Amino acid sequence: MKNYRTMAGPAMLALLVAVSLVIPNALKAADSPEIMKLLADAKAEAAELKVDSGQLESFTRSTMTWRGYASKLDEIKVHINNTGKLLGKLKAAETTGSPWQQAAIKRIEPLLKELADNTTATINHLNDNPGKIHTPAFTDYVKANSELATDLEAVIRDFVDYGRDKEQFESLGSKL
């Protein structure tokens, strides 16, 4: 029985390699270059958003005035709006993408929406309570914003990296 298992592993691997070489490229879902570009742009925007949100979170351990918070929140809002525009373009191109690209778009959308909603709540809280920026309620908003921005950046980065690695792998496979 043990010998059968060790023989089945290499035989199965050889079968999978043979099948993958026989499947015509036309049957494989092609990645959309447009979506790849938009994801790369969203990755850059999300990286800036992560940095700015981290800086805003660091303000909670300082004597920053409410104006400093407001200025940084304006920057964050710009990044969220830019990412939202990119998401709109991604959604418009979604049907042309491969399954993993479509999954990426579906995964990014709720994270960005939650981040936008949280940022709006943070701005509203600051506008309503400019003298209470060092209270737990406000610092919790800011911390949640930073965590969401970090999550969004990681998700987009992982999808972009996956696409790049997949492209490299397929390029190597075509050289065989």
Handedness of CA 152, 157, 158, 162 (dihedral sign): positive
Tell me the pLDDT tens digit for each residue of 106-123. Answer: 999 999 999 999 999 999
**Structural domains of the chain in order of their starting residue, each with its CATH number:** 29-174 (1.20.120.660)
Q: Answer whether 0.95 is exceeded by the pTM.
A: no
Task: For residue 129, give the 3-state DSSP assignment.
Answer: coil
pLDDT at 27: 42
Nearest to 151 by CA among 119, 123, 125, 114: 114
Residues in the chain: 176
Confidence band (pLDDT; 50, 70, 90) for 28?
Answer: low
Token pair for 165:
């690695």
Residue 176: what pLDDT?
64
Query: Please, what is the average pLDDT of the chain?
Result: 86
Q: How far is CA 120 from CA 70, 73, 123, 126, 163, in A?
A: 12, 9, 5, 10, 32
Which residue's entry shows tokens 């995964």? 107
